[in-house]
A and B are shown apart, each in its own frame.
Chain A
Amino acid sequence: MQREKVIEIQDITFSYDRKIILENASLTVYRGDFLAIVGPNGSGKSTLVKLMLGLLRPQRGKIFILGKPVEYFNQWEKVGYLSQRAAYFNPHFPATVREVVGAQASAHLGFLKPMRPKDWEKVEKALDTVGLSELSNCMVGRLSGGQQQKVMLARMLVAEPELLFLDEPLVGLDPESQESLYTLLKRLHQECVLTIIMVTHDISGIIKRVNRMVCIHQNKILEHDPRLYRDKKITPGYIAQLYHLH
């Protein structure tokens, strides 16, 4: 059976001023994939995610998201995006967990339509999924790094998306919080049949959990089969060495 393409990148070229980031790069992501994007700092991992989301436009080539050219795509409630900047939000932002997640739930309601009970139910459900129901009235800045990342995930989940983009969600987390976040992502991937695209530096952690892994190297998107690692044919150290990752 042919798998459904959710993201299709066709021969794109993108550069910042004169620095080429991607050249004639292609990638297809299928429904249900858990895809890791790894690569050295500045190689263009976050840029690739922003291109997929239409936040940046390639100079050449085409990008399709859920079957539509990204520039015409309008079903953004089906897409969740946790940006690097969101992870570094102002820790003194005076808002409760419930307000932060509620803002995401209200995004599709327009300016004046009030939140309905079923929208608040979605907020409670999303908080319950990430295990933060009891902290819903806490100020978001008072939570630990791991809990804050879970709040960010709850924001994504509240719209019941089909596609999740996570840009370095593990940065700044202690090993215990990282493990907890991995467990949660794995559960979401399996139970909610989510397609997850995650940018990360943690090769040894991610390689055991994803079904696909791509590296950005010399302006190209190169794919490695994570099973080769699981079969001990390659090691995370080898990949790190190959792509100058630290």
Chain B
Amino acid sequence: MVEILEYQFMQRALVAGIIVGIICPLIGIFLILRRLSLIGDTLSHISLAGVAAGLAAGINATLTAVVFALGGSLIIEYLRRHYSRYAELATAITMSGGMGLAVILISLGRGNTASVLSYLFGSVASVSTTDLSIMAVLGLMVMVSIIILYRPLFFIAFDEEGARIAGIPVNKINLYFTLLTAITVAVSMRIVGILLVSSLMIIPAAASMQVAKSFKTSVCISVATALISVISGLVLSFYFSLAPGGTIIMCSLFILLLFISFKKLSAMRKANLASR
């Protein structure tokens, strides 16, 4: 463990991983409860277009990914209001558009294939100091926003119409939350890769819902799950030369399986006690 910290790129990767491990489940738990899990995938496809645009133009790709993801989130919100009865259409249309644009931009920026791949699958070695600064500022913004909006987000997730009647500005909060999701996707792609960002949002939150005894504990367990997955994934990928994104996601899946087994065992134990 000490050896890993001797490398500056691993120090940066661990700090970035901790940021990602906190913000991904914070956003993910509300996405799951609002049945909007697909938005993470959609925004990551759009981020890929942003990365390709940044690499082609010679601008910091994390920044262009943030800008593209923010634009994509505005398009999703616009389409969602247009197709209010088919909300999932909005995400499907935006995802298609994002992927199409990404493919075109990648083909325009020939010679950057290796860089694009590092964003697709995650590459801890290429997290620069600039990347880390951008991640820290945006990550802090996401954390503070979720702390401030915790109560209304909970209310909207449980009963959106009831929240409107209670005077909560639902449309504004929904829009802001989609922007936060976009930022989280763009910030996290350096560590887990564009293809796996939404998994880090969804799996820890899904794992926490297996064992949590309240919403607050569910949030805490999902953040703890993501942090353990990110740190253990980075350490394992360092020592065994594995792809970090994939290793992190496999660690989170392992924890999910542990929680499911734990839940089943405790249910069996309760049934046994009841039958005696």
User: What residues of chain A have their CB less than 8 Å away from a CB belonging to chain B?
Assistant: 53, 55, 74, 76-77, 79, 81-83, 85-86, 89-90, 92-96, 99-100, 103-104, 106-109, 111-112, 137, 139, 155, 159
How many Å from the CB of A16 to the closest CB on chain B? 10
Which residues of chain A have C-beta atoms less than 8 A from B160's C-beta? 85
How many Å from the CB of A97 to the closest CB on chain B? 10
Chain B: which residue is nearest A95 at the CB level?
Answer: B215
Interface residues of B in 113-158 (CB under 8 A from A): 148-149, 151-152, 154-155, 157-158
- Show 10 A/B contacts (Cβ-Cβ < 8 Å), sorted by A: A83-B162, A86-B159, A93-B158, A96-B213, A99-B214, A103-B151, A103-B154, A107-B166, A107-B168, A137-B213
CA distance A100 to B208 in the complex (A): 18
Q: Contact: A55 with B164, CB < 8 Å?
A: yes
CA distance A212 to B160 in the complex (A): 30
Q: Contact: B158 with A111, CB < 8 Å?
A: no
Report how many residues on chain B are interfacial, defined by Cβ distance under 8 Å. Answer: 28
Q: Contact: A53 with B165, CB < 8 Å?
A: yes
**CB contact under 8 A between A90 and B167, given known A83-B162, A85-B161, A103-B151:** no
**CB contact under 8 A between A89 and B159, given known A94-B208, A104-B166:** yes
CA distance A82 to B35 in the complex (A): 21
CA distance A109 to B168 in the complex (A): 10
How many Å from the CB of B107 to the closest CB on chain A? 42
Chain B: which residue is nearest A50 at the CB level?
Answer: B161
B57 at the interface (CB under 8 A from A): no
Q: Contact: B165 with A104, CB < 8 Å?
A: no
Which residues of chain B have C-beta atoms less than 8 A from A77's C-beta? 166-167
Closest CB pairs A-B (n = 9): A107-B166, A95-B215, A94-B218, A86-B159, A83-B161, A76-B167, A81-B165, A103-B155, A96-B214
Most B Cβ at <10 Å: residue of A93, A108, A109: A93
Chain B: which residue is nearest A103 at the CB level?
Answer: B155
Which residues of chain A have C-beta atoms less than 8 A from B212's C-beta? 94
Q: Contact: B209 with A92, CB < 8 Å?
A: yes
Which residues of chain B have C-beta atoms less than 8 A from A81's C-beta? 161-162, 165
Most A Cβ at <10 Å: residue of B148, B157, B163, B214: B214
Which residues of chain B have C-beta atoms less than 8 A from A93's C-beta? 33, 157-158
Q: Contact: A55 with B148, CB < 8 Å?
A: no
B158 touches which of A53, A74, A100 (Cβ 8 Å):
A100
Q: Contact: A99 with B155, CB < 8 Å?
A: no
Chain A: which residue is nearest B157 at the CB level?
Answer: A93
B216 at the interface (CB under 8 A from A): yes
Q: Contact: A155 with B214, CB < 8 Å?
A: no
**CB contact under 8 A between A86 and B162, given known A76-B167, A94-B215:** yes
Q: Contact: A99 with B161, CB < 8 Å?
A: no
A103-B154, A103-B158, A104-B155 known, 17 other contacts, Cβ within 8 Å: A76-B165, A76-B167, A81-B162, A85-B159, A89-B159, A92-B209, A93-B33, A94-B212, A94-B218, A100-B158, A103-B151, A104-B162, A107-B166, A107-B168, A108-B167, A111-B148, A111-B152
How many Å from the CB of A38 to the closest CB on chain B? 21
How many Å from the CB of A32 to the closest CB on chain B? 21
CA distance A104 to B161 in the complex (A): 12
Which residues of chain A have C-beta atoms less than 8 A from B148's C-beta? 111-112
CA distance A74 to B167 in the complex (A): 8
A94 touches which of B149, B165, B209 (Cβ 8 Å):
B209
Most A Cβ at <10 Å: residue of B164, B166, B167, B213: B166
CA distance A135 to B158 in the complex (A): 19
Chain B: which residue is nearest A140 at the CB level?
Answer: B158
Chain B: which residue is nearest A114 at the CB level?
Answer: B151
CA distance A94 to B216 in the complex (A): 9
Q: Contact: B166 with A96, CB < 8 Å?
A: no
How many Å from the CB of A240 to the closest CB on chain B? 29
Chain A: which residue is nearest B161 at the CB level?
Answer: A83
**CB contact under 8 A between A99 and B162, given known A107-B168, A111-B148:** no
Interface residues of B in 214-229 (CB under 8 A from A): 214-216, 218
CA distance A93 to B209 in the complex (A): 8
Which residues of chain A have C-beta atoms less than 8 A from B35's C-beta? 90
B161 touches which of A86, A103, A137 (Cβ 8 Å):
A86
Q: Contact: A99 with B165, CB < 8 Å?
A: no
CA distance A90 to B159 in the complex (A): 10
How many Å from the CB of A124 to the closest CB on chain B? 16
How many Å from the CB of A65 to the closest CB on chain B? 11
Q: Contact: A139 with B167, CB < 8 Å?
A: no
